[in-house]
Structure 1
Amino acid sequence: MDIAFAFDETYADHAQVAIETVLETHPHRDDLTMWLLTSEEAAKRRERSLERQLAGRARLRLLTAGDEFRSLPSSKHQELTYITPGMYLRLLLPELIGDGAQRLLYLDADIQVWSDLSPLWEVPMDDEVPLAAVRDAFSGTFESYGGMPGVDERHDPQAPYFNSGVLLINLPVWRRQRITEQCLAYLAEHDGNLRFPDQDALNLAAYGRWVRLPHYWNHMHSHRMEPALNEQDPAAVWDMRIMHFAGKRKPWTEDFLPGVRQERYRTLLGRVHAFAAE
């Protein structure tokens, strides 16, 4: 499996924790390749730690981007100030990893994997489908949250809208359909009026051509299961295979609800810091 994360300095610790949840749930799989795209600064600081973390567990492919992504436009919404320009790095991945892989499973840095990803990896996608994703739990349609900039008569306002935190990418189709270029053009065109920038851009670029995944591959409502999560296996009982902490509240913020999710984060963060200290 080719699994990717894209992050800047702010999210580097959290990305390594998320990576650890992948490695922890696939202890006997010998075909894992981790494609990690980050800034040159973060790569310089993290390379040794990542090498130690992945040694004997997965192949490391560490990629870097220049600083151009930092100048891409930000959202107009004040409630999204916790999101850094690193969100745009995911758009660059398909153009940077070369032709060796045919598909790529992209995961956000604020996720936890709780079960085997093989069924997700094997989801069929035909030669017109650039990606598979989960419908967003908060903005379910194109017209949600006041509507998306750039929508016109070609787009059904009730069309399903996906979350970009988990993306199964069909690399040849993505490149052929120029998804990255479409997204960057969208950002430039709507600078100053952006809502959920990279996510809106991807939804327009892949409009009508994406595969909808079951919600458990990008579960955004795990907070509703506390405290029951503390008593049972989330993957087995609550059908949450990938938890996504979408929104301001993260396992590392003070206002996050204590419980099994936060405890797992803190345990794995300690492990990540140990890799850095070796």
Structure 2
Amino acid sequence: MVIFLLERYLIVDFQGKGCTMNPPPIHGETTHFSQTPTLEIVYAADDHYVVPLVAAISALVESQKSEPYEMRVTVLANQMSPSNVELIENLRTLGLSSENLRVLDISDRIPEGLPSRSPHNTYISQTAYARFLAPQLAQGSSDRILYLDADTLVKGSLEPLLTLPLGGRPAAAVCDRIIETVSHPQGLPNWRDLGLAPDAPYFNSGVLLMDCQLWRDEQIAERLYAYCFGRGDDLELFDQEALNAVLGREIVALDPEYNMFTNHLCNETVPGEAPLQRDPLSPEDIASARIVHYIGHLKPWKPGDTASIETDMFFEALDRTSLSGWRPTNVVTSSAGHE
């Protein structure tokens, strides 16, 4: 019998300020396994995000190959071309069986007419809303899944997430490093109407540990979609606003190491304002991260990216796949041999 114990986690104190470290334990939730446990990972992508998705799955497999659990990976593919579906399925050569890597076409599953423009964001793909469906489309009988954005890279063990106490809450996520509270200008414009305190934490939706049964029983996907339709073109950050507005009080806060924003934001500015991320992460911060997130507009697979540790990590993962050697034009990396 294998027993996994969670050593450290975070919860949110809505009466106090933001996230609190090492709260009293939630009793009775240690999971006992009579067989090899399974960690189910779900990504969502369309043709525009195939390259980062290939790197993401490569990094996931490499980082978890010595872990004492089985992995199942589901890709929710929205309007994806057959050639790109085949490209993803060929990642089984990395060590995933046909049962443990599947591509599921969800082109007709996302409701039509969801907002795609907002006051501060000119456009977003409808694929961003696919994460709401992840618990309903999970493989097998998993009681929880880990949803990851396609622009994330897994570096460390995910074992603690197998037994993280959710305490009857539907999801766990990391407090956003840029939009720290709901009252931030890009947080929840309607935070007062929702009865939230101005310093209530705001969560990033790029990494979500989700309770599948609770998600289904409480029709959370339907509630999230209804919120998005209700807000229309006033929806600020699309799926992320909905998640915080509908579920904010119920989200367990994960340690930042599970969603570490890369330093690309230090080079990204809003006209007339300072860089979005003012405090660059040290190499030690990046090294300790379990999951890094290429958030923002500057990304390694886009022309114009600059040299960084995080950029090199991305191409190292990509070069373990059939896309080895692929580079966008005008991208510079800091490692010798990359052009």
Whether the TM-score (by the shorter chain) exceeds 0.5 is yes
Q: How many Å separate the matches in 1 of 2:293 and 2:243?
A: 18
Q: Deviations over 1:147-195 (max 9, x none)?
A: 5244315222321110000000011112222211111001111111110
SS at match of 1:6: strand
Q: How many Å separate the matches in 1 of 2:285 and 2:135?
A: 34
Question: How far is the alpha carbon of 1:49 from its aligned partner?
Answer: 2.6
SS at match of 2:174: strand
Question: How far is the alpha carbon of 1:139 from its aligned partner?
Answer: 1.0
Residue 130 (structure 2) aligned to one of 89, 95, 110: 89
2:309 counterpart residue number: 260
Maintained 8 Å contact 2:52/2:150: yes
- Tell me the amino acid that sits aligned with residue 117 of structure 2: S
Question: How far is the alpha carbon of 1:12 from its aligned partner?
Answer: 1.4
Maintained 8 Å contact 1:70/1:86: no
Is residue 46 of structure 2 the alignment partner of residue 8 of structure 1?
yes
- Tell me the amino acid that sits aligned with residue 271 of structure 1: R
Find runs of 4+ consecutive structure 1 residues off by over 4 angstroms.
67-70, 223-228
- Mapping for residues 19-34 of structure 1, pairs under 5 Å: 19-29=57-67, 31-34=70-73
Q: Deviations over 1:112-143 (max 9, x none)?
A: 1111111233311122x000000011111111
Q: How many Å separate the matches in 2 of 1:202 and 1:191?
A: 15
- Tell me the amino acid that sits aligned with residue 242 of structure 1: I
Q: How many Å separate the matches in 1 of 2:56 and 2:157?
A: 14
- Mapping for residues 177-256 of structure 1, pairs under 5 Å: 177-223=218-264, 229=283, 234-235=286-287, 239-256=288-305
TM-score by length of 2: 0.71
SS at match of 2:223: helix
Maintained 8 Å contact 1:217/1:240: yes
Q: How many Å separate the matches in 2 of 1:137 and 1:115?
A: 20
Maintained 8 Å contact 1:75/1:196: no
- Tell me the amino acid that sits aligned with residue 11 of structure 1: Y
Maintained 8 Å contact 1:9/1:41: yes
- Tell me the amino acid that sits aligned with residue 209 of structure 1: E
Maintained 8 Å contact 1:179/1:202: no
- Tell me the amino acid that sits aligned with residue 203 of structure 1: N
Is residue 188 of structure 2 the alignment partner of residue 148 of structure 1?
yes
Question: How far is the alpha carbon of 1:227 from its aligned partner?
Answer: 9.3
In the superposition, relative to structure 1, how do residues 120 and 256 fare at CA in structure 2: closer, same or farther (>3 Å)?
A: farther
Question: Which structure is richer in relative contact order (CA contacts within 8 A, separation 6 or more)?
Answer: 1
- Tell me the amino acid that sits aligned with residue 132 of structure 1: A
Maintained 8 Å contact 2:155/2:292: yes
2:329 counterpart residue number: none
1:110 counterpart residue number: 151
Q: Deviations over 1:53-109 (max 9, x none)?
A: 12433511221112545642123145454x422111111222222661110001111
In the superposition, relative to structure 1, how do residues 186 and 227 fare at CA in structure 2: closer, same or farther (>3 Å)?
A: closer
- Tell me the amino acid that sits aligned with residue 299 of structure 2: K
